[in-house]
Structure 1
Amino acid sequence: MKTHLNYYLGYLRQDLSAGIVVFLVALPLCLGIALASGAPLFAGIISGIVGGLIVSWMSGSQLSVSGPAAGLTVIVYTAIETLGNFNGFLLSLVIAGILQLGLGFFKAGSIAAFFPAAVIKGMLAAIGMILIIKQIPHATGYDASFVGDESYMQETAKSSFSELSQALHSISPAATLVSAVALLILIAWESRWVKRYSLLRGIPGPLLAVAWGIAYNLWTSQYAPDWSLSIKHLVSLPELGSTQNFVNQLRLPDFSYFANPKIYSIAVTLAIVASLETLLSIEAVDKLDPHKRITPTNLELKAQGMGNIISGMLGGLPITAVIVRSAANINAGGQTRLSCFFHGGLLLVSVVFFAHYLNMIPLACLAAILLQTGYKLAKPAMFIEYYRKGLNQFVPFAITVFAILFTDLLEGIAIGMACGIFFVLRADFHSAMTLTKHGSHYLLRLHKDVSFLNKALLRNHLAGVADDSELIIDGSRALFIDQDILETIAEYLIAAPDRNIEVELQGFAVDSPLHEMHPGLMASLAGAGGHV
């Protein structure tokens, strides 16, 4: 893959446009996650800036966006409560980052290769559905908070449907109008008619949707106050006004907590959960990447580890690769790591100098952007595609979707993985060997790897051979045959004459382990040309 300057300059326009969209999506989420974690609001902004400006260049992924993770809010909140000090928690975060670095150097990232594609696609579809469920309240003006909008925790899942019900009973006509028009703009900007004109194609749809929301609220505030949006329906960002005020928000870890054993248990928990969420997100991003680039997972763990060390040293929250912001990045046309870098730069500049203008953005516009992203992740066509692939693919996909919706991300993925492994073993179980019959002649053929898991199937096949018949056991296609399988065959060779079954072995060497089990039998086989 090209990494020189021309490669990035070639996608500069698309990445700048996508970076603006990711920034608009990330801003309220960074603040909401900090609030849910019981941390200072700027801790979320700091971790978003670190994820954008630093992790983006250390990571091996071109499209993933790193920042504060909603899935860690419960862990962070509990840790701060347990330690009684946010600065003490920052020390845990630094240690967690060091542990992640170690995981990267010990190549723990290779575990990502064992996530089945159906499970990863199921995760994406579930996250898409969660986005839709979570954003409908904001789209209709029920802006309780943004704290759970990117979270897949069990308590969030339980509250999502009740929150959706409340939203539908407390609709704000102004917010609904803003989100509906914003959504229509986004849909129109995906149409062939707009894409035919290079001038229109160059304007980001999400940016136009946000501009519509700001213009609507400015106009209605002056000419139709009853239809204007109240402050609670707008982005709420504290205004700093200077670089010095921003620097004053930074915090150092409290190194006096080194002697507290709780610091280390929290660090281990953070490192494990953050690494798993990162690996899952990276696998999902690679599936969405239009260029189908593969992210080096061990490098990603190292990048996230360094990001968490830096975030902890500056007073930020734990960082992971986050699928919602990454999906928004891809949906907005991001092509390289520059889009994530731009979003980090925009976070930094905006919170220092332009908070007043950002606070004019309606949350309903941001909800429309995420609704479109959610639909693209959970398109009905994806469900149809996996249904047509057969039960081996559809069942793990569907179970992963529902497991995540009704539990949480990690538990849902674990359930999906268990289901996926079951179907893999089931397929392997049935394809490991085949028995064909022609009159009184039978052919038992072993395929590829035959493990002890196939012993029951082997016994069933052998029991199905009728008396007074001929059986060929062909092992020439098997790359590996387990000791238990060889022992079962050896025992059958001894018992076969009692049923007047003539057995011929093919593809088994004379020095096969069968020889060690029954040397006299194998010697007679060698002398008889492989027959019993």
Structure 2
Amino acid sequence: MFKYLNKDLPASLVVFFVALPLCLGIALASGAPLFSGLIAGIVGGVVVGAISGSQLGVSGPAAGLAVIVLGAIATLGSFENFLVAVVIGGVFQIILGVLKAGVIGYYFPSSVIKGMLAGIGIIIFLKQLPFALGVDADALTQEVASTDLLAVMGNFASYITPGAILVTVVSLAILLLWEKILVKKSKLFTIIPGPLVAVAVGIFYQVTFSAHGALAIPASSLVQVPVPDSISGFLGQFTLPNFAVITNPQVWVVGITIAIVASLETLLCVEATDKLDPEKRVTPTNRELFAQGAGNIISGLIGGLPITQVIVRSSANMQSGGKTKMSAILHGLFILLSIITIPVLLNLIPLAVLAAILLIVGYKLAKPSLFKQMYSLGKGQFLPFLITVLGIVFTDLLTGIGLGLAVGVVIILLNSYRNSHFLHKEGYEVNDGKYKMTLAEEVTFLNKGAISRELHNLPNNSFLEFNVTKTKALDYDIIEILDEFSIRAKEKNITIKLISEKGIIENPVSYSAFFSNKISA
């Protein structure tokens, strides 16, 4: 875990600066105490990070659960009652892990997962624009509700904070300069993360120009961390669950709902994070459910929000050069140390700096080239992808995923009507290290769990004869699995002989070009 500390430490700082305002914002959106979001961030980093098998995944309070939490607190009568449901949800997640329910994540097509990433990226980008412009979104919403919309829009410039715009522009310049130029010039710039420099510049700006009217940034546009006045004041921010309501059926309904929704979000984020991982490592999903369950139990016991693996933090971790789960653990420790030692300093950070960091994260998740790539793969990939994106942007995360999955299933059923599909794996001789796998006429994303499992279980120094002579249609999800396996095969010294109607190829490097005529449209 300490082997790549030179990369994990800078990445953990980036994730810390991204996670801190998200923890507070999600708590605010959930109608819960702000400190509960920080607790969830700490537990998600330290506890879940330590138990999880995910190397790049970062857990914490999730925006996708905010609406559920808000309604549950109102239904159950108090936050203390709600915490009991969080503990129950954690117990159910551990049960799901023991029952090996983590395989559910394999049955979501790649197009839906990429649509989820793109949809979240668009939402992140749009949600950060008010902070980047220094607009008080709540005040603007109230003004629109009480005044003519056209009049408000005509006077929109009066709602913008010039200082925040200046900080956003400078922060974006620093981040882009760091990533595109400076990191290629010297190793020093890989040790010191660009986002940390942007935050330092933002604090310097706030200290320097806080008294300059036109350039000053108001308190509402700064990070707002609770500042305890004593140790007892700090400990007093922790809330204990009211287990007197454990016999209330509504508490159990909320707990099971949290378990199901949090587990689904986590499994989808796990697969999405694994796809972003340059080393193509595979996260053990059952262990992940166990880790999330343990985290939710502890979070609920000390007054924290429900926890899931979060793609925003995970992608920020990956993009910042994180290599192992030490990055997630350190980010949780940084949250804990910061709220104990430097809450006043943290409250000097302009939200515009954090908005700039998230604008780049959002753009990378939903960059135009991704839409172009998905379109080029054909309607079988593009339609579920696009429907997922639109569903997430205009409804919510789970609805968007459900719509994309439904479209994907319909397309598969239509393809199945024309050509049946199944996976056939030939029997292999014991102890000789030689394996044979034959694909059917049509292989779809429904088969990727079985194929991935079989390839993952191949021992070191073995020989695989991979026969695709009968295969006429191959889903792009399978191509991705094969490309990822070719990387792992080199590490495990597995020899591959690919047999097709084109001939025999030894140890193919890339399957995408080779199967271009077989990819399902």
TM-score range relative to shorter protein: 0.7 to 0.9
Give the secondary structure class of the aligned counterpart of 2:322: coil
Q: TM-score, normalised by structure 1?
A: 0.74
Rg (Cα) greater in structure: 1
Correspondence list, 1:36-75, <5 A = 36-75=29-68
Question: 1:261/1:402 Cα in 2 relative to 1: closer, same or farther (>3 Å)?
Answer: same
- Aligned partner (choices 169, 186, 198) of residue 187 of structure 2: 198
Work out whether residues 234 and 360 of structure 1, in 8 Å CA contact, stay in contact via their aligned partners in 2.
Answer: yes
Question: 1:137/1:166 Cα in 2 relative to 1: closer, same or farther (>3 Å)?
Answer: farther
Partner of 1:245: 233
Q: Distance in 2 between matches of 1:275 and 1:209?
A: 35
Partner of 1:348: 336
State the one-letter code of the partner of 1:219: T
Question: 1:194/1:261 Cα in 2 relative to 1: closer, same or farther (>3 Å)?
Answer: closer
Partner of 1:444: none
Partner of 2:407: 419
Per-residue deviation, 1:170: 2.4
Find out whether 1:282 has 2:270 as its counterpart: yes
- Aligned partner (choices 16, 39, 44) of residue 9 of structure 2: 16
Partner of 1:316: 304
Find out whether 1:297 has 2:290 as its counterpart: no
Per-residue deviation, 1:200: 2.6
Per-residue deviation, 1:375: 0.8
Work out whether residues 63 and 289 of structure 1, in 8 Å CA contact, stay in contact via their aligned partners in 2.
Answer: yes
Per-residue deviation, 1:207: 0.6
State the one-letter code of the partner of 1:48: G
Q: Once superposed, what is the RMSD of the aligned Cα atoms?
A: 2.4
Q: Distance in 1 between matches of 2:420 and 2:92?
A: 41
Segments of 5+ residues of structure 2 without an aligned counterpart are 140-151, 422-439, 444-468, 472-521
Give the secondary structure class of the aligned counterpart of 2:137: coil
Q: Quick check: 314-323 or 242-251, which moved more?
A: 242-251
Question: 1:432/1:343 Cα in 2 relative to 1: closer, same or farther (>3 Å)?
Answer: same
Residues 475-501 of structure 1, C-alpha deviations (whole Å, 9 max, x = no match)? x979xxxxxxxxxxxxxxxxxxxxxxx
- Aligned partner (choices 307, 326, 329) of residue 295 of structure 2: 307
Residues 388-437 of structure 1, C-alpha deviations (whole Å, 9 max, x = no match)? 2122212221121111111111110011111112222333333449xxxx
Residues 2-32 of structure 1, C-alpha deviations (whole Å, 9 max, x = no match)? xxxxxx3331122111111111111111112
Question: 1:65/1:194 Cα in 2 relative to 1: closer, same or farther (>3 Å)?
Answer: closer
Q: Percent identity?
A: 53
Work out whether residues 228 and 234 of structure 2, in 8 Å CA contact, stay in contact via their aligned partners in 1.
Answer: yes
Q: Distance in 1 between matches of 2:157 and 2:333?
A: 37
Find out whether 1:127 has 2:115 as its counterpart: no
Work out whether residues 59 and 303 of structure 1, in 8 Å CA contact, stay in contact via their aligned partners in 2.
Answer: yes
Work out whether residues 102 and 289 of structure 2, in 8 Å CA contact, stay in contact via their aligned partners in 1.
Answer: yes
Partner of 2:429: none
Q: Distance in 2 between matches of 1:266 and 1:164?
A: 41
Work out whether residues 419 and 442 of structure 2, in 8 Å CA contact, stay in contact via their aligned partners in 1.
Answer: no
State the one-letter code of the partner of 1:410: L
Q: Distance in 2 between matches of 1:355 and 1:29?
A: 16
Moved over 6 A (4+): 163-169
Q: Distance in 1 between matches of 2:217 and 2:176?
A: 23
Per-residue deviation, 1:221: 2.9
Partner of 1:210: 199
Give the paired residue count: 416
Segments of 5+ residues of structure 1 without an aligned counterpart are 1-7, 147-162, 434-446, 451-475, 479-532
Q: Quick check: 96-105 or 421-430, which moved more?
A: 421-430
Per-residue deviation, 1:164: 11
Give the secondary structure class of the aligned counterpart of 1:9: coil
Correspondence list, 1:438-517, <5 A = 448=441
Q: TM-score, normalised by structure 2?
A: 0.76
Per-residue deviation, 1:307: 0.6
State the one-letter code of the partner of 1:88: N
Q: Distance in 1 between matches of 2:154 and 2:27?
A: 26
